[in-house]
Structure 1
Amino acid sequence: MKRFFIIALIVISVFSVQSVFAQANDKMLEEFLKVAMVKEQFDETVNMMMSQQSKAFAGQGKIPDEVAKVLQGFYKKYLTWETVKNDMTKAYSETFTQEEIQAMIKFYSTPAGQSIVKKQPQLTQKIMLLTMASMQKHMPELQASLMEIMKKKQPAK
């Protein structure tokens, strides 16, 4: 009987310690998300995506305009900070150790870290535009390759 109580006490202690570590980790992640301005960057990225899609559909007639509105409604419903925060927090906690998160908090709390955080969306947009321009430049080559495959797959007449 005494052995049972000791084992039960050990099990309860382990779960209590894990709970304390989880709470500390959650607080640390919250602080990281705040100093790294992850929510703001996420919101800006989603807004950028919606804006680009609206521009892509603009002036193409009634149906594309309706499609753009549906896409925007979809994003506003399912791609919000509230809908992704838990998954994002989990991804950070599974990817980085507590020491790494602490180091990132320390860095992003500095003026240099804040400067990088504020410039990150601009950098992301520039890279995206460069990537899209590069892809568009080589699109004829891709289309030719795809057409060649389509020709081979068509049944002989």
Structure 2
Amino acid sequence: MRRFSILFFAVFFSTAVHAASPSDASIEELLNSMHAEKIMDLMLPAIDKSMHQSMAMATEGKTLSAKQQQILDASTAKMMALMKDEMSWDKMHPMYVQIYRESFTQEEIDGLVAFYKSPAGVAYINKMPAVMQKTMGLMQTRMAEMIPKMKAAIQQAVEDVQNSK
């Protein structure tokens, strides 16, 4: 029985050690290796561009008066300022640390740090802004194609509800 207890505790503790939560220092090293702050900063111009395109799509190509355009531009600027503030690294950083701590083991964080410091990882980091920009562009195209279909489906649903009385 004693051997079984020793074996049980050895397995239990080795598993617990093996699946240890990562340290904040290792998460910081990973975020630095990933250039997470820089990537967040690079996303904001893409979001700004997307927001302007969305506003243009919302007006459906109608010509706006100078005053209407000014109001639209001011609204877009306010939303972008809010987004920049809410998605600032200072506000997002603690969330990233928490998510990585809850999602990865120390061993996994160590492996990710090794990857992001490798030539393949460095290439991945360097090419991600272009990948994200291309993705956003293609998504805008898809959204432009999808919005009229969504509007038609919504309109049909409203008509169906009205006709069901």
After TM superposition, the score normalised by the length of structure 2 is 0.72
- Is 1:80 matched up with 2:88? yes
Q: In the comparison of the two structures, how many residue pairs are matched?
A: 136
Whether the 8 Å CA contact 1:57–1:65 is kept in 2: the answer is no
Percent pairwise identity: 25
> How far has the Cα of 1:27 moved from its partner?
0.5
Per the alignment, in what secondary structure is the counterpart of residue 138 of structure 1?
A: helix
1:28 partner letter: S
Checking the alignment, whether the CA contact within 8 Å between 2:40 and 2:89 is kept in structure 1 is yes
Q: Which has the higher contact order (CA 8 A, sep 6+)?
A: 2
Listed as ranges, the matches of 1:27-106 within 5 Å are: 27-54=25-52, 56-57=54-55, 61-106=69-114
Q: Per-residue displacement from partner, 1:66-108 (whole Å, max 9, x unpaired)?
A: 1012112212322200011001111111111111110010011
1:11 corresponds to:
none
Report the Cα offset of residue 55 of structure 1: 5.2
Q: Distance in 2 between matches of 1:156 and 1:110?
A: 62
How far the C-alpha of 1:155 sits from its partner, in A, is: 6.3
Deviation at residue 63 of structure 1 after TM alignment = 1.1
The alpha-carbon distance between structure 1 residues 142 and 76, as it changes in their structure 2 partners (threshold 3 A), is: closer
* Cα distance change of structure 1 residues 104 and 131 upon mapping to structure 2, 3 Å threshold: same
Measured after TM superposition, the shift of residue 122 of structure 1 is: 1.2
Aligned 8 A contact 1:32 1:101 in 2: yes
Query: In 1, Cα distance between the equivalents of 2:140 and 2:55?
Result: 17
Aligned CA distance change for structure 1 residues 136 and 72 (closer, same or farther; 3 Å) = closer
Partner of 2:7: none
Distance 2:76 2:148 in 1: 26
String of CA shifts for 1:104-136, please: whole Å, max 9, x gaps.
100111122111011112112212222221232
Distance 2:52 2:146 in 1: 24
Distance in 2 between the 1:138 and 1:92 partners? 34
Q: Structure 1-normalised TM-score?
A: 0.75
Q: Which moved more, 1:76-85 or 1:128-137?
A: 128-137
Q: 2: CA distance between counterparts of 1:52 and 1:133?
A: 11
The answer to whether the Cα contact below 8 Å between 2:50 and 2:140 also exists between their aligned partners in 1 is no
